[in-house]
Amino acid sequence: MVRHIIYLYNVGGSDIVALGSDYDGIDCDVEMKNFTEIYKLYDELRKHFSEDIIDKFFYKNGERIIKSEAIGTYDSKSNKEFYYQVEDNMV
């Protein structure tokens, strides 16, 4: 997981990495079994990034997208991009 984050950071910078919420467990051999082991990811990231950048990965980048005026999505079937307005009361 850390190698993927480092790769994304190297390709696009600190503003493109954001952690998702699928931490209820998966059936493969990875560094974390579930969300209770998130500290393992944090500790490993501290070897490579500052605390400010890790904060972006953990919540600030996701929060920035949620609070933005429009969120774009891409529909691969119709080959069109859509934007949805985000209301103030939704965040």
Direct distance between the N- and C-terminal alpha carbons of the chain, in angstroms, rounded to an integer:
28
User: Residues of the chain with pLDDT > 70: what percent?
Assistant: 64
pLDDT of amino acid 18: 92
User: Residues of the chain with pLDDT > 90: what percent?
Assistant: 43
> How many other CB atoms sit within 10 Å of the CB of residue 19?
15
